[in-house]
Amino acid sequence: MGLSEEQVIAVLADVFSSQDPRVILGIGDDAALVHGSQQQILTTDIAVEGIHFRTDWSSAYEIGRRIAAANISDVLSMNGHCDYLLVAATLTGNESIDWIRDLAQGIQDQASEAGAVVVGGDLARSQILSIAITAVGHTDSATRRSGAAVGDSIYLSSLTGWSAAGLEILSRGLSTSGALAARALNEYRAPTLDMKVDFSAATSMSDVSDAILIQGAQMANASQVKFEIKVEDIEALPEFAELSALASEIGGNVLDWILQGGEDHALLATGVNLPGVRIGVVVEGSGISVLRGGQKIEMAPVAWSHFNQD
């Protein structure tokens, strides 16, 4: 390949350089040395080209932001603050040094916005581009998936569906214009984390990385309750009108986007009088249902999986 490991590491050390006081020793030794916390949050996610991202759909910068956001979101969903990221990437050798720098800058900017520092990484060569990020955070009081109680309401930190709309525009090859399509494409390419929505009083929480119907069912199972999503609540949201207008424009299914699209990385939480938007209630029973006028709507099963997809 044209690039040497030394060249790439020099660029990465430059992009990720930091004087953060939490970091005792950053990139350059066998390992990083940082200040830890009594309750530490640890999570890892791997993203593979062609499955989780496509270089013809997203810029290197957007891919970096997006993968970092997915990891940071898992920390936020524990009612945590993200402190450190480690990045292990496989490169094919066809990437230019500028492309690699942009990827790193995307990770770095998303980390900075969340108050986190990139403290380490590793590079290897492979035929397939992949990026594994580990996020390390802390919390004073973790919110698990298992605390939802009958009588709680179900909330989103913001309405989901924009990322799925963006994905549909890209995968159908639609040429769109207008602010709504642009917003959907932006949200797909670099999701906005809802850092300012205070869900610290939530009884249970998860980030919607796959779909409300998937993470909601997991939370309901962990809590031994049933989640009822109310379509009327969703339709009453101011943003629903916008997303619905986009769905009409391009012939998409707005409820599918909202309930079966995940990569906005909104937070899904239960509790009483939480901020964000209210989309349903927790009742006795098991699983998750979608109701309109008290009647259950059959949703198509979520076919999409990072693991099973061809």
Can residue 101 be called a binding residue for a second copy (CB under 8 A)? no
| Segment interacting with a second copy (CB under 8 A) among 40-48, 154-162, 248-256, 271-279 | 40-48
CB contact at 8 A, 1 and 93: yes
First vs last C-alpha separation in the chain = 29
Nearer to a second copy, 128 or 241 (CB): 128
Query: CB under 8 Å to 245, separation ≥6 — which residues?
Result: 180
* The pair of three-digit structure tokens given for residue 199, joined into one six-digit string: 């869900």
For residue 117, what is the enclosing H or E element? strand 117-125
Residues 10-39 that bind a second copy (CB under 8 A): 24-25, 28-39
Q: Strand (E) positions, 127-249?
A: 130-138, 153-156, 204-207, 226-230
Contact flag: residue 75 with a second copy (CB under 8 A)? yes
Tokens 């942009």, located at residue: 102
Sketch the per residue contact string, 133 through 172, with a second copy: x for CB under 8 A, - otherwise: -xxxxxx--x-xxx--------------------------
Part in contact with a second copy (CB under 8 A); list of ranges 117-125, 150-158, 246-254, 286-294: 117-125
* Least distance CB 206 / a second copy (angstroms): 5
Inter-residue contact 258 to 146 (CB < 8 Å): no
Residue 80 interacts with a second copy (CB under 8 A): yes or no: yes
| Count of CB atoms situated within 10 Å of the CB of 264 | 31
Binding to a second copy by residue 45, rule CB under 8 A?
Answer: yes
Burial (Cβ within 10 Å: 0-12, 13-18, ≥19) of residue 22: middle
Applying CB under 8 A, among 124, 236, 241, 300 the residue interacting with a second copy is: 124
Q: Give the whole-angstrom CA distance, residue 147 versus residue 128.
A: 40
Question: Interface with a second copy includes 127 (CB under 8 A)?
Answer: yes
User: Which CB, 75 or 243, lies closer to a second copy?
Assistant: 75
Residue 244: CB minimum distance to a second copy, A: 29
Tell which positions 217-236 bind a second copy, by CB under 8 A: 222
| Span interacting with a second copy, options 13-21, 123-131, 169-177, 243-251, rule CB under 8 A | 123-131
Burial of 66 (0-12, 13-18, 19+ CB in 10 A): buried
In the bound complex, what is the minimum distance in angstroms from residue 174's beta carbon to a second copy? 27
